[in-house]
Homo-oligomer: A and B are copies of this chain.
Amino acid sequence: MLNQQTPTLPRDCGACPIRHRAVCAQCEAEELEQLDRIKYYRNFEAGQTIVWSGDQMDFVGSVVTGIATLTQTMEDGRTQMVGLLLPSDFVGRPGRSVAAYDVVATSDMVMCCFRKKPFEQLLSVTPAVAQRLLQMTLDELDAAREWMLVLGRKTAREKIASLLSIIGRRNATLNLGAPAGKMVFDLPLTREAMADYLGLTLETVSRQISALRRDGVIVLEGKRRVTVPDFDRLLDEAGDDSDGGLPV
């Protein structure tokens, strides 16, 4: 089950697809070289657990391609997703040796890893990395707070619309410019994963997606491919004021 062959990996930072969005974004040539010296790539398969909460974690790193989730689980099995890691997102926490959450690869993934000790060393020496990491952490904190509003105060329909608009927006900013008019993307999550993200049951997720389809807010091809005919309509359903949202 674990023996997919390693595909060709990026080797050169210059050709790296996340070069100007990841923790290394603000590095000059020399700093980049320092990072390059301690980096190594790791592949993970869809479904594979990267770290278990409570386990030793001796590396940090960036998602290069693919998607991972951060989840918390209670003793009785209730689970809540607390982070969705897309390409360029940072994994792990400098200054902590034990993972606080389960990290699971949702799709096949490539990560650019750094052994923790040397990375921490580097943090205290090269301000460019530390500054970028602070920026990214502040952005994640904002995203987490946005989600607290979703979890605490929105209805099931609004939650689904919020999730779709977030995914749509990140997709749009990644590919083209600003999100507008028509929009097509694939859901990177199962119904169950969406439920864990939104604090719902998978049945409720399924019902609300069906409802949004019935009402013409979205169009589905198969289970995963979503078309949004009118993005403003979706934002409206999410309960967001049309300009607002995450500065992702």
Contact = CB atoms under 8 A, between A and B. Distances in A.
A188 interface: no
Interface of A: 70, 72, 74-76, 78-80, 82-83, 93-95, 100-101, 123-124, 127, 130-131, 133-135, 137-138, 140-142, 144-149, 151-153, 198-199, 239, 241
A68 to B, nearest CB: 15
A241 B144 CA distance: 23
Chain A interface helix/strand/loop/mixed: helix
Given A127-B124, A135-B95, A141-B140, A72 B199 contact: no
A153 B239 CA distance: 21
A83 B130 CA distance: 24
A135 B142 CA distance: 16
B151 A152 contact: yes
Contacts of A138: 93-95, 137
Contacts of A152: 80, 151, 198-199
Contact of A147 (B101, B123, B148): B148
Nearest to A72: B149
A199 to B, nearest CB: 3
A78 B72 CA distance: 27
Contacts of A79: 153
B95 A149 contact: no
A35 to B, nearest CB: 17
